Structure 1
Amino acid sequence: MRSAQVEKNASKVLKAIFGFILFFLIGSLLGTFVFLIFFWFRPAQVIVPDVAGMSVDRAKQILQNAGLKVGQIHGEGLVQFTVPQEKSRVRKGRTVNLFCEEPRRLTVPNLVGAPRETAEVILQSMGFKVRIAQMPFKGADGRVMGIYPPVGTELKKGEEVSILIDVGEPGRD
């Protein structure tokens, strides 16, 4: 009786060992197959072109021609650097962020005495936001009486410039 039990236990151990070896071989073959497929069919890679010193539009065109997407654009002006860096090897279709030089400073022009419409057009074409303040005053109607920040101040594009406009004599209807 004892030898029948020992035979059964030995048979179970052999089946367990055989099962382990079978699963190990199948797993190894599958792992090798997946590994080889990954290297045979891995995504195409490209090198990030050097677009430093170029305009944003030109840099976008070059990056798109290289098979890359343009992501965020930080700042204005010419491109200073990219993330990921130029000459980096990346997957085709990767997003590249552009970092540009700081916006140039613009000088507030002297528009005192100019007609309101002319002053607005000039300031807006320079890239300033225009805020109008009106005040009755003795003098020619619709002319710029003052400007803030003062003439000659340097501002970034998009900052606000207020102009004080003469709307005619006080108390006159």
Structure 2
Amino acid sequence: MRVFLGIIIGIVVGGLFFLFTMKFYQSQYSTVPDVVGLSGTEACERLKTSGLFCDKSSSETVVDTYPRAGSRVKKGRTVNLYYENPQKKIVPRLSQLNFPVAEEILKRLGWNYETVYFPFGTEKDRVLATYPKEGQIYNGKLILLIDTGEKESYFLVENFVGKKVDELKDDPRVLLLGTGDTVVAQYPPEGSIATKVILILGEE
């Protein structure tokens, strides 16, 4: 009888411990609400009620989020909001996203883009940067710098801006993009450690 009673007590205690653990776990996480179609201000308020934050508020309409609605995330996380704006196009925040996610966001927002793969060795298919940078108003084609996940030899980046294309066309450290005969921008900037440098060409 004592053995049977001990088993019953053990089951009850174990069940209560399991329920407590599950409740504690669930209290640490929240489900991303569906805020597509709301204004940025309304979306931020709804996220706040779920224990989450938005990256930026706006009066414009939300067309997408990352993480997506229905995702389970830790409370206190920042959710990126992507806005519809027919009058101007602002480069969205894509850095550190996986390329398939970034690609879907760009398609939803109607962006044209091209990809450049670099062996930075952090994580395969991770977006390292965009050109132009996030937050800038731009109506052209975006350039996405994507990590191949591999590693190569690194070097200290010098300043290439202002140099002529004839000086650089045989340099294995650089990748030339655009038209023109002069470097007008570069990524990463001078002083960085990199395996290659993207050089944007234009007219001086």
TM-score (norm 2): 0.31
Question: Highest Rg: 1 or 2?
Answer: 1
| Larger RCO, structures 1/2 (Cα 8 Å, 6+ apart) | 1
